[in-house]
A = this chain, B = another copy of it.
């Protein structure tokens, strides 16, 4: 006990009035730096610093003694300044972007309330609200009934599906583990999210259990190959467990043909994930990280039966209200953040129609972007976009017409990383690139934010040209 004796610890350690004053000042800085300047197309997306110099600038080290309020407010400003402005109209780096102020108000309220979403007694509003939001999401999927839960991200949602599928087929896995089960096989496409691999490893299946089904030129799973791979797996002694389909693959934005895959699943009696659904409203719907719903059609309480541990300190059965409202035992988490309020408040603000507009608007901008690309030299599509991901190579003038050269592909693959480095160091824009299978590095621009307009698309193309023209 250091200098505790100097303080009267019998008195409250935190002064509410002083704290609220600090919060008020911090709020003003957040609005100014992140929401005002951070969304201004004239300002930078990124204030690049080398890691060593950024660490020095931020003075991250934690010490024994505290700091003044003024110094702390300067820290709030610095964190904002050197962080990426994900709501900037020129942030195209990831599958999220933009800010919704109603959602953000919901997020602030969530943080202030600091509710743990496991029981009705401690989270009455949010138990009811999560149930209602999940119902509304299921209705958009087209399901009249079912179950679900909000998870910390889409990877976790996908893992829920894999875990549920095996429990449904072999309930004994919960107590006896995978040793008691035959070898299982999971089917997915090479374009599916990497969480299928991570989940296979984490949940004990092993990544060898994941069978990759062939895709067509557009990156869509081929049902005939799925059928063949299932037959093959069976012949090798595997029990086919589930097909993890994708509606909008990570890179190309491809949609697996769900109807045809459903027929194959029916034929072999497989769990079809998408039959359960992982849906991330923190992406296109702008709910903010994290907001990922795992939805399923089941009405037999499968989720709870699979995951429950019946902890008697939390889920007592002799409570004075309906204990079915204690939804926490459906989760593999104990402490669980409230992820529904932000989506609910935003939805209340703009209605389903307003959310629909955002999706429509994104498609409209993608169409505009594609038209403009056609009018310019050097923009070559990787595939025809099905969704709001536009994948393309930028061919700098020096490489145009050199497709036949032996080193063309190597040189082309080096273009995107250099342009990316330049844009980040100048801070004008952010967009991702990646290779895919045999294809060398190409850009993937994701058109998500409802803040953008045609001039931002024009800026995007101008900027790629400007940064890449001398390569």
Contact = CB atoms under 8 A, between A and B. Distances in A.
Contacts of A356: 1-2, 4
Given A72-B348, A76-B105, A49 B113 contact: no
Contact of A129 (B60, B126, B154): B60
A26 B105 contact: yes
B75 A348 contact: yes
Q: Which of A19, A205, A325 has the largest count of B CB atoms less than 10 A from its CB?
A: A19
Contacts of A122: 84, 86, 93-94, 430
Given A20-B35, A35-B20, A208-B175, A62 B133 contact: yes
A100 B60 contact: no
B101 A19 contact: yes
Contacts of A26: 105, 108-109
B111 A345 contact: no
Interface string A241-274: 0000000001100000000000000000000000
Given A16-B36, A334-B195, A125 B83 contact: yes
A470 interface: no
A360 B1 CA distance: 7
B325 A51 contact: yes
Contacts of A353: 2-3, 64-66
A417 interface: yes
A280 B335 contact: yes
Interface string A404-444: 00000000001001001100100000101111100001001
A417 B316 contact: yes
A173 B334 contact: no
A454 B197 CA distance: 53
Interface string A180-203: 100100000000011101111111
A144 interface: no
Interface in A45-61: 48-51, 54-55, 58, 60-61
A450 B12 contact: yes
A26 B112 CA distance: 12
A62 B102 CA distance: 15
Contacts of A345: 72, 75-76
A114 B368 CA distance: 27
Nearest to A368: B10
Contacts of A174: 201, 206-207
Contact of A13 (B194, B368, B450): B450
A471 interface: no
Contacts of A11: 453
A349 B175 contact: no
**Which of A111, A174, A178 has the most chain B CB atoms inside 10 A of its CB?**
A111
Nearest to A77: B109
A290 interface: yes
A83 B123 contact: yes
A253 to B, nearest CB: 12
A320 B353 CA distance: 43
A27 B105 CA distance: 7
Interface string A90-114: 0001101011111011111101111
A425 B207 CA distance: 51
Contacts of A351: 62-67
Contact of A23 (B31, B123, B129): B31
A279 B332 CA distance: 18
A199 B209 CA distance: 20
Given A75-B345, A334-B195, A203 B204 contact: yes
A214 interface: no
A172 to B, nearest CB: 8
Contacts of A349: 66-67, 72
A93 to B, nearest CB: 6
Contacts of A206: 173-180
A295 interface: no
A125 B79 contact: yes
A394 interface: no
7 tightest A-B CB contacts, nearest first: A204-B204, A177-B206, A19-B101, A152-B152, A26-B105, A313-B434, A13-B450
Given A13-B357, A50-B321, A173-B204, 7 more contacts: A65-B353, A79-B125, A86-B113, A177-B200, A179-B206, A202-B203, A251-B313
9 contacts: A13-B450, A27-B105, A62-B352, A72-B349, A84-B115, A104-B111, A155-B332, A314-B432, A316-B435
